[in-house]
């Protein structure tokens, strides 16, 4: 049944195709669904809404920074704006985005399964996410939070803002993340189709599996850390309070023990998507499959050993600093290996430069910058200068936005026909991608220079000498916003069309392309049997 290339069916279709989208109708059929695809779609709209909200805060922050002193808001408002931007983007957008919105949809299909292992737990995770966002929005409207998304003590335990509500929001959201991780691991172990051995699995699944390991091991530590903040605020338990014999730096250890692995919860799924797009759009088998697969697992484990690199100037011992620096450089190696493998996959490929591939190439460059600028921060001496400056802000935006979000957009374009049965508008998508690339670099490249020159982060007022770079960055943010709007248009306008997407518009060889676009509720009429690898584009030759 699986050909190397699927001939597109006649454009459109007169009758609406039977699929998971229309097999049952009405709001309740969605709110009570246990279909992983519907849950994925509900997550998609939820995280995109949060991305929009976080983005609004970002534009407000950048607008304030257009001039050295007050532009449109007070210092207290600014401190809330950047805190909420960070908290929303991290907890409500990036961490769930790829796993819960795309992973939920695609993973079971890729495994040839009918659903995830625990469909009801899946639905529960969505409701928990919604509950967490309600708490977060409540925190926003009851005075906001002004601690920075990192909640450092003693400031967070003494601030008058809605810290307790927001930390409870993050605590609740953590469960959503854990449930997703538990589901993916169990599904990967138990629900693979016949013939789908571990080394025949798409690399996207390996990436999601490694991500799930981190979600399970790291999130509970954040949970207890957040509870401890609440306990400090309500009972003054004393663990982080120097006046009571506690240690404020201990909070940082607890917090980063989760939050460093968390950034790998963010990047591994992005890398996983790139590992899918590049071979398909180069119509060439992935170079170094096992290296990429095991790199993901290696990154997952090493990620737990480097948290102290956020704390080189925190007062922790120099010896601890040295150990963390060494381990931080270690974790760079598997990431570098992946980049070289992806490039080698493209070498002598047959490349179709459509929107998903545009985003993948953007990822290579932006992740390149993001990862390389991490070297400045992993090296102890240079980190002392650059810590808590705009250099760090630029670095993490290159990896979180320039890499993960770009990969998310790439994946969204890639799987859009599968999810909604419609081809997005390629021209608009191209314009959107180009604007995003230009806008993103215009916004964040100057911030590296700001950091080199000593501009600290989380600053409402700044010295006049920094204005030209800040202004440039603000203009860049407008281009970026515009680009994202165009990209959204390219995708969303397709929903007005009748379903016109073939089952396999890109010629992929992974199982999701054997289901119809969009799939029926059960995913497959009959359970597929796998006889080839995920990136075997020339079956006559490969076997």
Partner 1 sequence: MNGIRSILLPVAGSEYARSHDTLLMFILALTVIFFSLIAVLSVTFVWRYRRSRNQGPTPHMTHNTALELTWSIIPGLILLVLFLWGLKGYIAAGVAPLDAMEIQVTGKKWLWAFEYPNGARTINEIHVPVGKPVKLVMTSEDVIHSFYIPTMRIKQDVLPGRYTELWFTPTKAGMHQAFCAEYCGKSHSDMLAKIWVDEEAAYQKWLEEGDEHTRTMPLKDLGRLIWENRGCSTCHSLDGTRGQGPSFKGIWGHAQKLADGKTVVVDANYIRESILMPQAKIVAGYEPIMPTFQGLLREREIQAVIEFIKSLQ
Partner 2 sequence: MTPSTNTLDPHAHPHPTGLQHHFADMEQQADASKIGMWLFLVTEVLLFGGLFVGFALMQGRHHEAFLAAHHHLDRSLGILNTVVLLTSSWTMVMAVHSAQQGERKRLIVYLALTLVFACAFLGVKYLEYSHKFHEGLLPGKYYSHRGDTVPGQFMFFSFYFMMTGLHGLHIVAGMAAISWVLRRAMRGDFSGAYYTPVEIVGLYWHLVDMIWIYLFPLLYLIG
User: Which residue in the set 120, 290, 427, 543 belongs to the binding site for partner 1 (CB under 8 A)?
Assistant: 290
| Binding residues with partner 2: total (CB under 8 A) | 54
Question: Under the criterion CB under 8 A, does residue 23 sit at the interface with partner 1?
Answer: no
CA gap 106, 39 in Å, rounded = 11
CA gap 279, 360 in Å, rounded = 11
**Residues 19 to 58: which contact partner 2 by CB under 8 A?**
20, 23-24, 29, 32-35, 38
Q: Which is nearer to partner 1, 75 or 492 (CB)?
A: 75
Identify which of 262, 232, 206 has the alpha carbon closest to the alpha carbon of residue 89: 262
Torsion of CA 367, 373, 375, 379, to 10 degrees: -150
94 in Cβ contact with 400 (< 8 Å): yes
Question: Under the criterion CB under 8 A, does residue 506 sit at the interface with partner 1?
Answer: no
Backbone angles phi, psi at 456, to 5 degrees: -70, 160
117 binds, among partner 1, partner 2, none (CB under 5 to 8 A by kind): partner 2
Stretch that binds partner 1, among 9-17, 117-125, 180-188, 280-288 (CB under 8 A): 280-288
Question: Under the criterion CB under 8 A, does residue 350 sit at the interface with partner 1?
Answer: yes
447 binds, among partner 1, partner 2, none (CB under 5 to 8 A by kind): none
348 binds, among partner 2, partner 1, none (CB under 5 to 8 A by kind): partner 1
Question: Under the criterion CB under 8 A, does residue 478 sit at the interface with partner 1?
Answer: no
Q: Which is nearer to partner 1, 242 or 495 (CB)?
A: 242
154 binds, among partner 1, partner 2, none (CB under 5 to 8 A by kind): partner 1
User: Which residue in the set 296, 325, 474, 477 belongs to the binding site for partner 1 (CB under 8 A)?
Assistant: 325
Question: Under the criterion CB under 8 A, does residue 352 sit at the interface with partner 1?
Answer: yes
Could you tell me the sign of the dihedral formed by the alpha carbons of 175, 176, 180, 183, in that order? Answer: positive
- CA atoms within 13 A of residue 408's CA, in its CB half-sphere: 25
23 binds, among partner 1, partner 2, none (CB under 5 to 8 A by kind): partner 2
Stretch that binds partner 1, among 103-111, 148-156, 199-207, 300-308 (CB under 8 A): 148-156
Stretch that binds partner 2, among 83-91, 113-121, 148-156, 504-512 (CB under 8 A): 113-121
220 binds, among partner 2, partner 1, none (CB under 5 to 8 A by kind): partner 2
322 in Cβ contact with 380 (< 8 Å): yes
CB of 247 to partner 2, least distance (A): 7
User: Which residue in the set 68, 119, 143, 349 belongs to the binding site for partner 2 (CB under 8 A)?
Assistant: 119
> Going along 239-309, which residue ranges are E strands?
none
CA gap 242, 249 in Å, rounded = 9
135 in Cβ contact with 163 (< 8 Å): no
Question: Under the criterion CB under 8 A, does residue 452 sit at the interface with partner 1?
Answer: yes
Question: Under the criterion CB under 8 A, does residue 403 sit at the interface with partner 1?
Answer: no
Question: Under the criterion CB under 8 A, does residue 4 sit at the interface with partner 2?
Answer: no
256 in Cβ contact with 308 (< 8 Å): yes
Q: What are the C-alpha distances in Å from 11 to residues 2, 14, 496, 507?
A: 21, 9, 15, 17
**Rg of the chain (C-alpha set):** 23
Stretch that binds partner 1, among 35-43, 53-61, 120-128, 334-342 (CB under 8 A): 334-342
Token look-up 């969605």 returns 30
Count CB atoms within 10 A of the CB of residue 17. Answer: 16
Could you tell me the sign of the dihedral formed by the alpha carbons of 109, 112, 114, 116, in that order? Answer: negative
| Burial class of residue 347 (count of CB atoms within 10 Å of its CB; 0-12, 13-18, 19+) | exposed
381 binds, among partner 1, partner 2, none (CB under 5 to 8 A by kind): partner 1
Identify which of 299, 285, 126, 117 has the alpha carbon closest to the alpha carbon of residue 206: 299
CA gap 533, 196 in Å, rounded = 9
Token look-up 């009429």 returns 525
389 in Cβ contact with 453 (< 8 Å): no
Question: Under the criterion CB under 8 A, does residue 297 sit at the interface with partner 2?
Answer: no
Q: Prior bond to 154 cis, omega within 30? A: yes
Question: What does 383-425 look like in DSSP terms, one character per residue?
Answer: HHHHTTBHHHHHHHHHHIIIIIIHHHHHHHHHHHHHHHSS---
148 binds, among partner 1, partner 2, none (CB under 5 to 8 A by kind): partner 1
**Residues 499 to 538: which contact partner 2 by CB under 8 A?**
521-522
Question: Under the criterion CB under 8 A, does residue 372 sit at the interface with partner 1?
Answer: yes
Angle among Cα 392, 396, 401 to the nearest 5 degrees reads 145
CB of 28 to partner 2, least distance (A): 9
489 binds, among partner 2, partner 1, none (CB under 5 to 8 A by kind): none
**Residues 175 to 234: which contact partner 2 by CB under 8 A?**
178, 181-183, 185-187, 189-191, 216-221, 223-225, 227-228, 231-232
451 in Cβ contact with 387 (< 8 Å): no
Site string for partner 1, 94-133 (x = CB under 8 A): ----------------------------------------
Q: Which is nearer to partner 2, 186 or 332 (CB)?
A: 186
418 binds, among partner 2, partner 1, none (CB under 5 to 8 A by kind): none
Q: Which is nearer to partner 2, 23 or 388 (CB)?
A: 23
**Residues 158 to 187: which contact partner 1 by CB under 8 A?**
158-159
CB of 183 to partner 2, least distance (A): 8
Q: What are the C-alpha distances in Å from 223 to residues 145, 361, 389?
A: 18, 36, 28
CB of 330 to partner 2, least distance (A): 23
Residues that bind partner 2 (CB under 8 A): 20, 23-24, 29, 32-35, 38, 113-121, 178, 181-183, 185-187, 189-191, 216-221, 223-225, 227-228, 231-232, 235-239, 244-247, 250, 254, 521-522
């Amino acid at each position: 049944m699986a050909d190397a290339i699927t001939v597109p069916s006649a454009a459109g279709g007169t009758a609406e195709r039977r699929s998971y989208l229309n097999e049952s109708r009405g709001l309740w059929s969605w709110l009570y669904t246990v279909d992983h695809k519907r849950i994925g779609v509900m997550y998609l709209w939820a995280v995109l809404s949060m991305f929009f909200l976080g983005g609004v805060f970002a534009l407000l922050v950048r607008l304030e920074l257009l001039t050295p002193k007050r532009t449109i808001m007070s210092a207290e408002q600014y401190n809330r704006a950047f805190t909420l931007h960070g908290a929303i983007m991290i907890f409500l957008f990036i961490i769930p985005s790829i796993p819960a919105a795309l992973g939920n949809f695609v993973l079971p299909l890729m495994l040839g399964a009918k659903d995830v292992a625990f469909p009801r737990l899946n639905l529960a995770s969505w409701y928990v996410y919604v509950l967490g966002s309600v708490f977060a929005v409540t925190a926003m409207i009851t005075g906001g939070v002004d601690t920075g998304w990192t909640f450092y003590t003693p400031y967070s335990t003494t601030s008058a803002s809605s810290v307790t509500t927001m930390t409870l929001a993050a605590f609740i959201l953590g469960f959503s993340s854990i449930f997703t991780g538990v589901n993916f691991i169990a599904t990967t172990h138990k629900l693979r189709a016949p013939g789908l051995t571990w080394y025949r699995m798409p690399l996207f699944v390996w990436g999601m599996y490694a991500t799930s390991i981190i979600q399970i091991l790291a999130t509970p530590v954040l949970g207890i850390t957040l509870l401890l903040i609440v306990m400090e605020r309500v009972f003054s338990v004393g663990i982080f309070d120097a006046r009571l014999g506690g240690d404020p730096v201990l909070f940082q250890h607890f917090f980063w023990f989760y939050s460093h692995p968390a950034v790998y919860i963010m990047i591994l799924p992005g890398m996983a998507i790139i590992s899918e797009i590049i071979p398909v759009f180069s119509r060439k088998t992935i170079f170094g499959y096992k290296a990429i697969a095991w790199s993901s697992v290696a990154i997952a484990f090493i990620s737990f050993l480097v948290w102290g690199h956020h704390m080189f100037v925190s007062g922790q011992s120099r010896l601890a600093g040295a150990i963390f620096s060494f381990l931080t450089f270690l974790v760079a190696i598997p990431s570098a290996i992946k980049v070289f493998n992806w490039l080698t996959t493209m070498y002598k490929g047959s490349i179709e430069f459509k929107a998903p591939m545009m985003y993948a190439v953007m990822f290579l460059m932006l992740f390149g910058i993001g990862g390389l600028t991490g070297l400045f921060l992993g090296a102890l001496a240079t980190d002392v200068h650059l810590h808590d400056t705009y250099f760090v802000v630029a670095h993490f935006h290159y990896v979180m936005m320039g890499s993960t979000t770009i990969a998310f957009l790439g994946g969204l374009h890639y799987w859009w026909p599968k999810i909604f049965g419609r081809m997005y508008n390629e021209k608009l998508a191209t314009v959107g991608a180009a604007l995003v690339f230009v806008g993103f670099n215009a916004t964040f490249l100057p911030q590296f220079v700001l950091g080199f020159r000593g501009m600290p982060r989380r600053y409402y007022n700044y010295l006049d000498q920094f204005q030209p770079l800040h202004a440039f960055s603000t203009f860049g943010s407008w281009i970026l916003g515009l680009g994202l709007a165009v990209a959204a248009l390219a995708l969303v306008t397709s929903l007005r069309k009748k379903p016109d997407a073939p089952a396999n518009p890109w010629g992929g060889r992974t199982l999701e392309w054997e289901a119809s676009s969009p799939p029926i509720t059960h995913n497959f009429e009959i359970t597929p049997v796998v006889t080839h690898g995920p990136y075997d584009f020339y079956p006559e030759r490969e076997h």
